[in-house]
């Protein structure tokens, strides 16, 4: 009888060095579209710093930070919607509507003789000067009014999509028209201006800065941190990603899909409303045509930053990077004295290029 040798296959450890191996473009910073766009942004900043001596000046960097913040907050909100596989085309109209409501409520409550105004203001001894009963209260009520209409619009969008089963594209496209039309109806096609004793507070909170850092940029960073916390460290965030990854599987595991969908549309609407209120403070008014076509810039920024329109992918970092890239392009074109109309062309090219690079990377997996 033969004795098995020490090198018998039964005693030899078998290893598979190729199993689990990942290509370099699937590891580390190259693992997401956001990383590629960030590298492109850094390269663009370097190029612009050489192309124009004014690009890296303190004043210009403050302008860049302020300007991209004017769409970035709404982009954070719509990223929630896109992660679930939805879309919201009404954000631009809602920015305008929320801003108009805020301005009109502020002016109305500050005008003696108008309904409820006696609860908020009174005339000084000279009989002309309007004085707030409680400084800041009119501002708070006005902003809450703007956010309230935003919440209602988001709730309607969410119910139509999640409970009635309507297409997100068709629903929010219709809402875009409805909200914009309502804005023209209540304003008669005219702009509204924040007024009254709390107007200075309003402008300070929307136009002001803290040690040279624009207030809108500070709000953006705080909201981005909150979004990151919610998406990655709460049950709600996990449910959002689960629905975007596989809605049927998420439902089978006990996720309340309709409730989560309604909530993300509400979040997106509130972000758009807040964005519009901030923009109106910067403009000093809320014109009836404010934020026209902003939904295209907001969605473009989210997609460029890595949010997948099919759902399941997205985050605050990508949303901010996409917004910064768009603003650097716009700012760079201005400094280079290039026709600003080229911006839309370049944005389209970047969207296609960003998605194409991500698709190529996925096929090479």
226-253 average pLDDT score = 95
pLDDT for the residue 77: 96
Residue 298 in this model has a pLDDT that exceeds 90: yes
> How many Cα atoms sit within 13 Å of 29 on the Cβ side?
6
Q: Are 58 and 212 in contact (CB under 8 A)?
A: yes
Residue 117 in this model has a pLDDT that exceeds 90: no
Task: Give whole-number Cα distances, 85 to 143, 169, 170, 175, 309, in Å.
Answer: 30, 11, 14, 18, 6
Give the lowest-confidence range in 38-47, 102-111, 317-326, 334-343: 334-343
In sign, the C-alpha dihedral spanning 239, 242, 246, 249 is negative
What pTM does this model have?
0.88
Residue 22 in this model has a pLDDT that exceeds 70: no
Residue 9 in this model has a pLDDT that exceeds 90: no
Give the rounded percent of residues in the chain with a pLDDT score beyond 90. 55
């Amino acid at each position: 009888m033969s004795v098995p040798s020490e090198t018998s296959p039964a005693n030899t450890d078998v290893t598979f060095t190729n199993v689990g191996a990942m290509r370099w473009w699937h590891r580390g910073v190259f693992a997401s579209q956001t990383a590629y766009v960030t590298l492109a942004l850094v390269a663009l900043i370097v190029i612009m710093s050489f192309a124009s001596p004014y690009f890296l000046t303190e004043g210009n960097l403050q302008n860049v930070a302020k300007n991209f913040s004017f769409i970035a907050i709404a982009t954070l909100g719509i990223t929630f919607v896109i992660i679930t596989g939805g879309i919201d085309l009404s954000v631009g109209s809602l920015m305008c509507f929320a801003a108009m409501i805020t301005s009109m409520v502020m002016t109305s409550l500050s005008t003696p003789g108008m309904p409820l105004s006696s609860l908020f203001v009174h005339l000084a001894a000279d009989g002309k000067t309007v004085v707030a009963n409680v400084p800041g209260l009119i501002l708070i009520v006005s902003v809450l009014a703007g956010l309230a209409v935003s919440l209602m619009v988001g709730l309607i969008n969410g119910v139509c999509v999640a409970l009635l089963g309507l297409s997100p594209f068709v629903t929010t496209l219709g809402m875009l028209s409805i909200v914009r039309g309502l804005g023209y109806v209540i304003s008669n096609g005219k702009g509204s201006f924040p007024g009254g004793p709390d107007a200075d507070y309003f402008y300070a909170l929307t136009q002001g800065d803290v040690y040279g850092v624009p207030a809108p940029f500070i709000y953006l960073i705080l909201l981005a941190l909150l979004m990151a916390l919610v998406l990655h460290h709460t049950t709600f965030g996990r449910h959002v990603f689960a629905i975007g990854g596989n809605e049927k599987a998420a439902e089978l595991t006990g996720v309340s899909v309709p409730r989560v969908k309604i909530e993300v549309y509400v979040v997106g609407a509130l972000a758009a409303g807040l964005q519009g209120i901030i923009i109106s403070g910067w403009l000093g008014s809320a014109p009836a045509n404010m934020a026209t076509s902003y939904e295209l810039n907001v969605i473009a920024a989210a997609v460029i930053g890595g949010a997948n329109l099919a759902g399941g992918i997205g985050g605050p970092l990508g949303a901010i990077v996409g917004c910064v890239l768009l603003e650097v392009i716009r700012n760079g074109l201005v400094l280079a004295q290039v026709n600003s109309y080229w911006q839309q062309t370049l944005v389209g090219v970047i969207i296609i290029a960003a998605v194409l690079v991500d698709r190529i990377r996925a096929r090479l997996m």
